[in-house]
Structure 1
Amino acid sequence: MTSRATAPALSQLGETTLRKVRRRLMPLIVLLYFIAYLDRNNVGFAKLGMQGDIGLTEAAYGLGAGIFFLGYALLEIPSNGGMYRFGARKWIARILISWGIFATAMFLVNGEATFYVIRFLLGAAEAGFFPAILFYLTLWFPAAQRVTVLGIFILAQPISNALGAPVSGMLLNLEGVAGLHGWQWLYILEGIPAIILGIITPFVMTDRPEHAKWLKPEERDWLSTTMAAELADKQKAGNHNFLAGLKDSRTIAYSALYFGLVCGIYGLGLWLPTIVKALGTFDSTQVGFIVFIPYAIAAVFVYFWSKRSDRTGNRVWHASASMVLAAVGLLGAGFLLPVNAVLAMVFLTLAAMGIYSAIAPFLAMPSAALTGAAAAAGLAMVNSLGNLGGFVAPYIVGILKDATGNSQTGLVFLAACLAVTAAATYLYARKRPEGVSAPGATVPAADTH
């Protein structure tokens, strides 16, 4: 029988240490992911001006938007191997600089071919960033506190979309400045920050707790000892090398489940500006401020839901319930789009709340199940194969939009993906220790079934 008792309370020293770690690490990590998500999704706004200038069909846009994830998936596991070998500080800086270069280079797009090529290279450059951060958090935060921390990290997604939407909308108004289109300025001004942060990161990021000179000696000793003890407990259960993470059956299962969740994340994110623009006669700035609404509300809900998941320890229920909420939101929006724009936006907001609140409790499960080099490999594989959903969903939505002339069938398709994934996630993880055990419980490092 799986225990659902809550984890033992932290000592005063533990509370103080982790509070200091959160304040030191999380602002930078959230900022980096904010920029990553901005550069990944700003193509949704750039499309509003770029589509007519270079002659993209809806299906071609969907393919180009999604092809990012092919490059991302191909290099994800090798990139995370490099991170484990060279350390998070140097490797994340390398990723930032390379993706910043290609994000800026998107202003050179002049047709379908260049659109596909640069989007693919951007995905290849960013490969490894997300699982590198997930693995980095496993080095600094005990499992009992990790869903809340993941929730803070995941907050960067809806916040990036919320703040990036009006900014991107306004940047499109730079049409003609210095002879460039507004969408070209969007790519330039939103790509350069990644390069700057890549230069700064090695000087402000610390690889492991034992290197944290900004902690007091007793705080550093407590954190190093706590994390080493948690690692040792997990390692007793089985292999924890790099290849073991790739072969672990849980890695494969969570990769397949994450694919379904990612279909919803990017199927909505990359098409939402287009959907909103079709609701009325809005200019690009107005579209940006309207798109801000569902993401801003989702950001508040993500933090609350992550804290609740940590408090109860029932990660699988929180992840599955969120996906059901997202499916209901997308289905409702699909049928209300041609009827009532305000109600359609209410349901799109519910969809955003469900999609983004599912991510932290879902990813906490493979993060808790694997450790050491196996975690680096396993999390990379989950993110790599799962993010292929970011290729499939936008492309299928584009094909359906070309075929029907509306967004309704695309939203119904995304709702079905999330509903099936919610059921499958619950059935798979409802009796597994990483899904329903107390937050501080030990989770075996290798599947014995």
Structure 2
Amino acid sequence: MKQAIKTLGVSPRDELETATMRQVRWRILPLIVLLYLIAYIDRNNVGFARSAMESDLGLSDAAYGLGAGIFFIGYVLMEIPSNAGMYRFGARKWIARILISWGIMATAMTLVHNEMSFYIIRFLLGAAEAGFFPAVLFYFTLWFPAAQRVSVLGIFVMAQPVANALGSPMSGVLLDLDGTWGLQGWQWMFLVEGVPAIVLGALVPFLLTDRPAHARWLADDQRIWLTATMDAENAAKASTAHHPFLAGLKDRRAWVYGALNFGMVCGIYGLGLWLPTIVKGLGDYSNTTLGWLVMIPYAAAVPCVYYWSRRADRTGKRALHAAISLTTAAVGLLGAAYLFSLSPVLALIMLCVAAIGIYSAIAPFLSIPSAVFAGAAAAAGLGLVNSLGNIGGFVAPYIVGLIKDTTGSNPIALTFLAACLITTAIIGYLYASRRPEGDATLTTQGATQP
């Protein structure tokens, strides 16, 4: 065996690394991706319920936009405290807590009966789900070396377009259950799509492992190698590795990347919450058919996300890949906005381009702050980045709703989202491309300078 390894030019250490990381991926990623898929369906399914809820509850475009976006106010307020809990109690217990509480609030959406109850339950849903995404980012810093993290994040982020691709037709079918057992179709949708989070929350403590040193499912040599590798990587981040939780909140880089994340999230959630409405303009379709049409842009994004994240890992140019993706997304949104009146089919194609750009930007971008922080400061810093970013999840749908109420124009609303994305692409590239976390090909000299 050793002779075969030598002949192939593969050292025993390389073989150990490959075998270890393959096992870690198969153990961790399927479950984490499934959890995020469910989270994304539960936060975005309100977009499919919009027309029915407006009809049943008398919501205006602005009221819908406020209710859809207020999710992120609760999310942002509880994000950093939740990440502190993650660091204090560990991944298994805290992610389980998040899952069960958000599943309860997701099913509680069936109780909405007016504007105020819509606002309250959406706010509580955001507060319940707070901390999940940065907790996963932090969890990945414990298990995956930085050189492999963009690819891992790419697989994780694929849950977003996959969730929308699967959630679109599923939500359409559930909406067509209108009147069954005395429930409206949108109530069935919230009920059925909220229960899986509760079930999986009860299973997570038995399926996740907090740290490599606790992984009894790894062989002894694999566990020792991975623990030593991650400890060495964290020690190299000298400016934050030994700092307390609050150090991550004081780091200027966390605020800069959080502000940039705000611009990216505006595009992500603005598109996600309004895409069903935009696609419905293609014709008078049933809820089920609408769901299949909405699936198309998200399905187109999935293979591109995987390819682009692997390419960013291979080249190390994370900032460049994120900027190209965000620019592509902006072009797609503008094309959809101004081609719609000429050809709905061309507009749908441009929405596919927008979805590809938006979702392929996430992994390269979020790998940048993940490469900066370690230890307790990572829990705080990544929580701050995600908190500031998710303010965009409130701002985007609310402003889009106001624009539509004022002008009745989808093109103007999409132009606003495109402007957010292109501005983020330019500023993000200028800031991060000159820094080692944004371009791994640069020397690590000065990497820890804020």
TM-score category of the 2 structures, normalised to the smaller one: over 0.9
Alignment partner of 1:67 out of 70, 74, 85: 70
- Matching residue of 2:209: 206
Does the 8 Å contact 1:82/1:91 carry over to 2?
A: yes
| Offset from partner CA, 1:33-75 (integer Å, 9 cap, x none) | 0000000000000113111001110111011000000000000
- Matching residue of 2:98: 95
- Matching residue of 1:82: 85
Q: CA deviation at 1:31?
A: 0.2
- Match runs of 1:49-448 below 5 Å: 49-235=52-238, 240-438=243-441, 446-448=448-450
Q: CA deviation at 1:407?
A: 1.1
Secondary structure in structure 1 of the residue aligned to 2:438:
helix
Amino acid at match of 2:194: G
| Offset from partner CA, 1:10-44 (integer Å, 9 cap, x none) | 71100110000000000000000000000000000
Partners of 2:91 and 2:413 in 1: how far apart?
A: 38
Amino acid at match of 1:103: A
Amino acid at match of 1:447: Q
Question: What TM-score, normalized by structure 2, do the two folds share?
Answer: 0.96
| Offset from partner CA, 1:299-324 (integer Å, 9 cap, x none) | 11000000000000000000000000
Partners of 1:445 and 1:45 in 2: how far apart?
A: 45
Q: CA deviation at 1:443?
A: 8.4
Secondary structure in structure 2 of the residue aligned to 1:281:
coil
Q: CA deviation at 1:135?
A: 0.2
Report the CA distance shift for 1:91/1:11 in structure 2 as closer, same or farther (over 3 A).
Answer: same
Partners of 2:241 and 2:189 in 1: how far apart?
A: 49
Report the CA distance shift for 1:444/1:93 in structure 2 as closer, same or farther (over 3 A).
Answer: farther
Amino acid at match of 2:391: L
Amino acid at match of 2:271: L
| Offset from partner CA, 1:238-270 (integer Å, 9 cap, x none) | 753211100111001001000000000000000
Partners of 2:200 and 2:112 in 1: how far apart?
A: 24
**What's the % identity of the aligned pairs?**
64
Does the 8 Å contact 1:371/1:445 carry over to 2?
A: no
Secondary structure in structure 2 of the residue aligned to 1:271:
helix
Report the CA distance shift for 1:129/1:23 in structure 2 as closer, same or farther (over 3 A).
Answer: same
Secondary structure in structure 1 of the residue aligned to 2:271:
helix
Partners of 2:116 and 2:388 in 1: how far apart?
A: 25
Does the 8 Å contact 1:239/1:446 carry over to 2?
A: no
Does the 8 Å contact 1:174/1:181 carry over to 2?
A: yes
Report the CA distance shift for 1:442/1:92 in structure 2 as closer, same or farther (over 3 A).
Answer: farther
Q: CA deviation at 1:336?
A: 1.1
Partners of 2:387 and 2:400 in 1: how far apart?
A: 21
Partners of 2:447 and 2:277 in 1: how far apart?
A: 44
Does the 8 Å contact 1:96/1:197 carry over to 2?
A: yes
Report the CA distance shift for 1:9/1:366 in structure 2 as closer, same or farther (over 3 A).
Answer: farther
Partners of 2:139 and 2:241 in 1: how far apart?
A: 21
Partners of 2:146 and 2:356 in 1: how far apart?
A: 24
Partners of 2:28 and 2:149 in 1: how far apart?
A: 13
Report the CA distance shift for 1:123/1:142 in structure 2 as closer, same or farther (over 3 A).
Answer: same
Does the 8 Å contact 1:249/1:447 carry over to 2?
A: no
How many residues get paired?
A: 440
Q: CA deviation at 1:332?
A: 0.6
Structure with greater contact order relative to length (CA < 8 Å, sep ≥ 6): 1
Secondary structure in structure 2 of the residue aligned to 1:434:
coil
Secondary structure in structure 2 of the residue aligned to 1:326:
helix
Q: Structure 2: which 5+ residue stretches go unaligned?
A: 1-10
Partners of 1:276 and 1:323 in 2: how far apart?
A: 22
Q: CA deviation at 1:163?
A: 0.5
- Matching residue of 2:24: 21
Does the 8 Å contact 1:233/1:442 carry over to 2?
A: no
Amino acid at match of 1:378: G
Q: CA deviation at 1:447?
A: 3.0
Secondary structure in structure 2 of the residue aligned to 1:184:
helix
Report the CA distance shift for 1:133/1:172 in structure 2 as closer, same or farther (over 3 A).
Answer: same
Does the 8 Å contact 2:240/2:373 carry over to 1?
A: no
Partners of 1:183 and 1:294 in 2: how far apart?
A: 23
